[in-house]
Amino acid sequence: MSDAASPPLETGWFPTTPVDDTYLRRYLLNWAGFCAASARSLGGDSRDLPEASLADASDSRPSPTASRFYNRLHPNAST
Protein backbone atom coordinates (compact mmCIF):
# COMPACT_ATOMS: atom_id res chain seq x y z
CA MET A 1 0.00 0.00 0.00
CA SER A 2 1.35 3.42 -0.95
CA ASP A 3 1.10 6.51 1.18
CA ALA A 4 0.34 9.73 -0.73
CA ALA A 5 2.99 11.60 1.27
CA SER A 6 5.79 9.09 0.61
CA PRO A 7 8.34 9.92 -2.09
CA PRO A 8 8.12 8.02 -5.38
CA LEU A 9 10.22 4.93 -5.92
CA GLU A 10 13.76 5.93 -6.95
CA THR A 11 14.46 5.24 -10.62
CA GLY A 12 17.97 6.68 -10.67
CA TRP A 13 17.01 9.59 -12.93
CA PHE A 14 15.39 12.17 -10.68
CA PRO A 15 17.04 15.61 -10.58
CA THR A 16 17.77 14.94 -6.89
CA THR A 17 19.54 11.64 -7.57
CA PRO A 18 23.26 12.00 -6.75
CA VAL A 19 25.63 12.11 -9.72
CA ASP A 20 27.59 9.15 -8.38
CA ASP A 21 24.49 6.95 -7.99
CA THR A 22 25.55 4.75 -10.95
CA TYR A 23 28.41 4.73 -13.45
CA LEU A 24 25.94 5.30 -16.28
CA ARG A 25 24.50 8.40 -14.60
CA ARG A 26 27.98 9.73 -13.86
CA TYR A 27 29.04 9.18 -17.49
CA LEU A 28 25.86 10.76 -18.88
CA LEU A 29 26.15 13.90 -16.75
CA ASN A 30 29.89 14.27 -17.43
CA TRP A 31 29.34 13.83 -21.19
CA ALA A 32 26.55 16.42 -21.13
CA GLY A 33 28.87 18.83 -19.29
CA PHE A 34 31.64 18.21 -21.82
CA CYS A 35 29.26 18.88 -24.74
CA ALA A 36 28.01 22.09 -23.12
CA ALA A 37 31.53 23.37 -22.38
CA SER A 38 32.72 22.51 -25.89
CA ALA A 39 29.74 24.21 -27.50
CA ARG A 40 30.28 27.39 -25.46
CA SER A 41 34.00 27.43 -26.24
CA LEU A 42 33.19 27.28 -29.98
CA GLY A 43 30.79 30.22 -29.70
CA GLY A 44 27.63 28.15 -29.44
CA ASP A 45 25.03 27.91 -26.77
CA SER A 46 23.98 25.43 -24.10
CA ARG A 47 21.11 25.01 -21.68
CA ASP A 48 20.92 22.90 -18.53
CA LEU A 49 17.34 22.04 -17.64
CA PRO A 50 16.09 19.64 -14.98
CA GLU A 51 14.85 17.31 -17.73
CA ALA A 52 17.65 17.66 -20.26
CA SER A 53 20.99 19.16 -21.21
CA LEU A 54 21.18 20.86 -24.60
CA ALA A 55 24.31 21.93 -26.48
CA ASP A 56 24.64 23.48 -29.93
CA ALA A 57 28.07 24.52 -31.16
CA SER A 58 26.63 26.35 -34.20
CA ASP A 59 29.70 25.24 -36.12
CA SER A 60 30.18 23.27 -39.34
CA ARG A 61 33.15 21.35 -37.92
CA PRO A 62 32.53 18.08 -36.11
CA SER A 63 31.58 19.20 -32.65
CA PRO A 64 29.46 17.96 -29.78
CA THR A 65 26.00 19.23 -30.68
CA ALA A 66 23.82 17.11 -28.46
CA SER A 67 20.80 16.78 -26.26
CA ARG A 68 20.69 14.44 -23.29
CA PHE A 69 17.44 13.57 -21.59
CA TYR A 70 17.66 12.65 -17.92
CA ASN A 71 14.32 10.88 -17.62
CA ARG A 72 11.70 9.16 -19.72
CA LEU A 73 10.05 11.48 -22.22
CA HIS A 74 6.61 10.61 -20.91
CA PRO A 75 5.94 9.71 -17.27
CA ASN A 76 3.68 6.79 -18.27
CA ALA A 77 6.23 5.24 -20.64
CA SER A 78 7.50 1.80 -19.73
CA THR A 79 10.93 1.59 -18.15
pTM: 0.68
Interval 10-62: pLDDT, tens: 777 777 788 888 888 888 888 888 888 888 888 888 998 878 888 988 877 66
The pLDDT, as a whole number, for residue 77 is: 57
Torsion of CA 65, 57, 17, 78, to 10 degrees: -30
The pLDDT, as a whole number, for residue 76 is: 62
User: What is the full DSSP assignment across 44-74?
Assistant: -EEEE-SSEEEEE---SSS---EEEESS-SS
Q: In the chain, where are the structural domains located? A: 19-69
Do 61 and 70 form a contact (C-beta atoms < 8 A)? no
